Each structure stands twice: as structure tokens, then as C-alpha cells.
């Protein structure tokens, strides 16, 4: 299992386009991935609705947890998405 903390850096927070990018990246890898924040339930990173329910705004600290053969690669890729604004 691989874990890391990331900060949402997009000025509009974890909005639909970022969430869609997270889903895309999570599905490209062979690992089970969940995202959570303090006081929130855990979201499946392959579900845009789960991610949107987190309500994560700019500056929110999220924990990404991955388990599986590609766990390190998916955590690194999702760190780039969250902290880099998803390229959007």
C-alpha cells in the first residue's frame, strides 16, 4: 500500500474537470485508489461523483491511498494532477 498527502492547488478546487482527470489517471493503472480528506468519507478515485462529494476547495489536504501492482506510479501521477491543477 502506498499513501501520500497532496494539496489541491487549482483555484476552483476539486471541480468536475479535475475530478474527471483523476478518474482517467486512476483507471490507467492497475491499483485500487481512494482519496480522502479530514472530516470526509473516503472516495473511490474511479468515481467522479465520489470525488465531487469530497467538496475539496483550494488548499485542501487530501490523502491518496493506492494498493496494487501500479500503486507507486498512480500515486505519483495523481500527485501531479492535484498539485499541478490537472493541467487545466
What integer pLDDT is reported at residue 87 of this predicted model? 47
The range of the structural domain enclosing residue 65 comes to 2-87
Please list the rounded mean pLDDT of every run of 10 residues in the chain (88 residues). Answer: 91 90 96 92 95 92 96 94 65
* Distance of alpha carbon 4 from alpha carbon 52, whole angstroms: 20
DSSP 3-state of 66: strand
Catalytic position from the list 12, 15, 29, 34: 15
DSSP 3-state of 40: coil
The H or E element containing residue 34 is strand 32-37
Q: Is 30 labeled as catalytic in the residue annotation? A: no
Query: DSSP letter at 14?
Result: S
- For residue 6, the domain's CATH number is 3.30.1340.10
What integer pLDDT is reported at residue 71 of this predicted model? 96
Which neighbouring-strand residues pair with 11? none
What integer pLDDT is reported at residue 12 of this predicted model? 87
Report in angstroms the alpha-carbon separations of 15 from 19, 59, 71. Answer: 6, 13, 24
What integer pLDDT is reported at residue 85 of this predicted model? 60
> pTM for the complete prediction?
0.89
Domain count, the chain: 1
Amino acid at each position: 500500500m502506498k499513501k501520500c498527502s497532496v494539496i489541491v492547488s487549482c483555484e476552483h478546487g476539486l471541480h468536475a474537470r479535475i475530478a474527471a482527470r483523476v478518474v482517467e489517471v486512476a483507471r490507467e493503472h492497475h491499483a485500487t485508489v481512494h482519496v480522502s480528506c479530514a472530516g470526509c468519507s473516503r472516495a473511490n478515485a474511479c468515481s467522479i461523483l465520489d470525488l465531487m462529494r469530497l467538496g475539496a476547495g483550494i488548499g485542501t489536504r487530501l490523502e491518496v491511498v493506492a494498493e496494487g501492482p501500479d500503486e507507486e506510479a498512480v500515486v505519483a501521477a495523481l500527485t501531479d494532477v492535484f498539485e499541478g491543477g490537472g493541467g487545466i
